[in-house]
Structure 1
Amino acid sequence: MEFTTGGRLEVRITAADTGKRVSVRRLDPSGTPGSLFADTVGVLTSWDNGVLSITRKSGETVRIEESTLVAGKVVPAAPPRRRGPAASFEELAPVLARAWQPVESERLGDWTLRAAAGFTRRANSVLPLGDPGLPLPDALDHVRAWYAARGLPAYIQTATGAAGTQERLCADLEQAGWEREVSAEVRIAALAPIADLDADVSRVRLDRTVDEAWLSRYQRSLTPGEHVLEVLNSGPSVWFASVPGDGAAPAAIGRCVVDGRWAGFMAVEVDPALRRQGLATAVMTALARRALDEGASAAWLQVEADNDAARALYEGQGFATHHSYHHFRSR
């Protein structure tokens, strides 16, 4: 990380660079022996009263005393991608939303308030793709009241880590007392290599609608009601995959939504007693082949940041992180 001009460290950022991606070096606050400096890269979300706030791509906000700065500069909005399809956040965000639609929604400027009787945070959170049309404190009051009227906690889903994502909104929510509860990665890949994986797809059954057997393997809802079915069946072109098991529940399941060039993979679950036998790969391969038949060429999925087993599986299939998303809850 180069900060110098003619061998001299320089701070080349000011408060006017708020909203830009920056890289800064400061005196190491930990005091670790042998460590003089600490580096931080992220979006400069504020610079007030001698304190800088920088939101990293992980969604974490770092606060830095101006007096500890020894170097700083503006850097490109996002590093160039080395693999996978080219995609912007502006393209991906609506695709992800169409694949997991709520039962009820309302517009607040460019924000969408979504509810589905509490089934998943994605379907019960605000999608803030732009300006709410109100000052932020008023918009947050409206959000709280809207969810309270439905007996639901107020969540806002934000994204970080790519050009056009919402680092400043993350910082504003933290400042307003909202708490980040869950973070996940949105990963993308070329679709054809997934369809070409060496997997036994002979037992994988594909259906257009979800049935009771599929739901018995699905772990997100123990008592699926009509609201669950409405969310699961929503999307431009939805497919459900299942591999028969020895009992009533399938050995493995998955869901795919085809939307233009994109195929989104969700709800890939395997009987714990049958893991590491290639069933998840078989499900995804069968779904990928069907998506290719419908004209898709790129794949996406979402995986929670602490799900190491799933992340390893998807990395082996060529998925790379595009951006992260987070759910902030009102306290």
Structure 2
Amino acid sequence: MHSDFSSIGRLRIHITPADVGKRVSVRQLAEIVDGHPTFTDTVGVLASWDIGVVCVTRRDGRTVRIAERALVAGKVVPPAPVRRGGVPDATADELEEVAARAWPPLESERLGGWTLRAAAAEVPGGPAGGPPRREGFTKRANSVLAVGDPGVPLDEALERVAAWYGERGLPVYVQLPDTSPYAAELDARGWSRESPTLVRTAPLAPLAVLAEEPGLPGQPEQPEFTFSRTPDAAWMAAYHRTGALAELAARVMTGGPSVWFAAAPGVIGRAVVDGRWTHFGAVEVAPEQRRRGLATAVMAALARRAREEGATAAHLQVEADNPGARALYERLGFTDHHGYHYRRPPV
């Protein structure tokens, strides 16, 4: 949205880098035409303010980058009004696209409706001192998201996929919704099935309210959480999936539309707000702190933060063979939306 300088009045910048994480309204100089400046307004969450660049994440998930020198006005504004409603209607393909934005690769390429994804780094060869090898951080960020039509015959699509991952020294994985029409085609070609996963959804409001309730008799009080846009060393140390790829993992996990990391003694969690949806993941509780409600507490705290940005629904991914996590999420109101799995070509 553009506006003429003459209609603005006196402009002041009332925000600083200390306001990162708050909802703000900012105005930047867009251009000067015939000696008359015009301005663009942006409302959203102040995601970062670093090295002369101000980043504001809007409700639609888009992050606007503003050069600090172009900023002419800014102020903190009240949280966005909570939208009515709960879980939006979404197909499996649509929700897979939302989930993919919450766990973005470092490199991607479109093949029709499919997305080829990679997030890999070179790691040492192992205890025997072998040559270095390429290793990807999670299958989600190193697989083809096969939703929609690749735009070419299937065999040609698979050949392009194999060449793309071969150039990067990575194995071929295809992430496929269980209802995909390509499932039978890959069965016929001998592609194996791995890592069956459930995608579950829930309305956000009941989950957020849990953070406001007092602890049960005999139970500890709700912990005090800290929130950040990037994970610190302690958060990363508590996350079990990074291994030798901590730097790469941090780059993947800080991607996404509006990312929040939460931490308290013994527990961590991550949420990504994308319009009406909130993606939950990376919930980790230290072994000695389990069965104290900390997983529920961190998800509830993140849900409250997401509601402040106008989200109404939650989604997450859980391995089908993880009964403990599935039971937890059922207690929190999550129900199955669809399933997906990975395919690998025959050896």
Relative to the length of structure 2, the TM-score reads: 0.66
Structure 1 residue 174 corresponds to structure 2 residue 192 = no
Alpha-carbon distance in 2 for matches of 1:84, 1:127: 23
Alignment of 1:101-120 (within 5 A): 101-117=104-120, 118-120=136-138
3-state secondary structure, aligned to 2:283 = strand
Match of 1:56 in 2: none
Structure 1 residue 149 corresponds to structure 2 residue 167 = yes
- Offset at residue 91 of structure 1 (A): 3.1
Opposite residue 119 of structure 1, the aligned amino acid is F
- Offset at residue 85 of structure 1 (A): 4.8
3-state secondary structure, aligned to 1:224 = helix
2:197 to 184, 201, 213: 184
Structure 1 residue 260 corresponds to structure 2 residue 275 = yes
Opposite residue 190 of structure 2, the aligned amino acid is G
- Offset at residue 181 of structure 1 (A): 1.1
Unaligned runs of 5+ in 1: 1-82, 245-250
1:323 to 332, 335, 338: 338
Opposite residue 136 of structure 1, the aligned amino acid is L
Alpha-carbon distance in 1 for matches of 2:281, 2:204: 15
- Offset at residue 191 of structure 1 (A): 0.1
- Offset at residue 289 of structure 1 (A): 0.2
Alignment of 1:186-265 (within 5 A): 186-197=199-210, 198=213, 200-244=221-265, 251-265=266-280
Opposite residue 321 of structure 2, the aligned amino acid is D
Alpha-carbon distance in 1 for matches of 2:293, 2:334: 17
Alpha-carbon distance in 1 for matches of 2:331, 2:154: 42
Match of 1:124 in 2: 142
Opposite residue 173 of structure 1, the aligned amino acid is L
The superposition leaves residues 11-44 of structure 1 with CA deviations (integer Å, 9 ceiling, x where unpaired) of: xxxxxxxxxxxxxxxxxxxxxxxxxxxxxxxxxx
- Offset at residue 182 of structure 1 (A): 0.7
- Offset at residue 86 of structure 1 (A): 3.4
- Offset at residue 90 of structure 1 (A): 4.0
Opposite residue 107 of structure 1, the aligned amino acid is R
Q: Check whether the contact 2:137–2:245 (CA below 8 A) recurs between aligned residues.
A: no
Match of 2:306 in 1: 291
Q: Give % identity.
A: 58
2:285 to 270, 274, 282: 270
3-state secondary structure, aligned to 2:245 = coil
The superposition leaves residues 234-257 of structure 1 with CA deviations (integer Å, 9 ceiling, x where unpaired) of: 10000001112xxxxxx1111000
Alpha-carbon distance in 2 for matches of 1:236, 1:329: 30
The superposition leaves residues 71-130 of structure 1 with CA deviations (integer Å, 9 ceiling, x where unpaired) of: xxxxxxxxxxxx955333243122111000001011112111000011000000001221
Match of 1:312 in 2: 327
- Offset at residue 322 of structure 1 (A): 0.1
RMSD: 1.5
The superposition leaves residues 125-168 of structure 1 with CA deviations (integer Å, 9 ceiling, x where unpaired) of: 001221112211111111111111111110000112xxxx41x2
Alpha-carbon distance in 2 for matches of 1:282, 1:262: 19
Alignment of 1:78-89 (within 5 A): 85-89=88-92
Q: Check whether the contact 1:201–1:283 (CA below 8 A) recurs between aligned residues.
A: no
Alpha-carbon distance in 2 for matches of 1:87, 1:140: 27
Alpha-carbon distance in 2 for matches of 1:210, 1:224: 14
Alpha-carbon distance in 2 for matches of 1:307, 1:268: 14
Alpha-carbon distance in 1 for matches of 2:345, 2:118: 16
3-state secondary structure, aligned to 1:223 = helix
Opposite residue 193 of structure 2, the aligned amino acid is R
Match of 2:153 in 1: 135
Alpha-carbon distance in 2 for matches of 1:224, 1:294: 31
Alpha-carbon distance in 2 for matches of 1:144, 1:201: 49
Q: Check whether the contact 2:93–2:177 (CA below 8 A) recurs between aligned residues.
A: no
Q: Check whether the contact 2:109–2:117 (CA below 8 A) recurs between aligned residues.
A: yes
Cα distance, 1:272–1:202 mapped onto 2, change above 3 Å: closer
Relative to the length of structure 1, the TM-score reads: 0.69
Q: Check whether the contact 2:87–2:312 (CA below 8 A) recurs between aligned residues.
A: no
Q: Check whether the contact 1:188–1:322 (CA below 8 A) recurs between aligned residues.
A: yes
Alpha-carbon distance in 2 for matches of 1:104, 1:283: 31
3-state secondary structure, aligned to 1:276 = coil
3-state secondary structure, aligned to 2:336 = strand
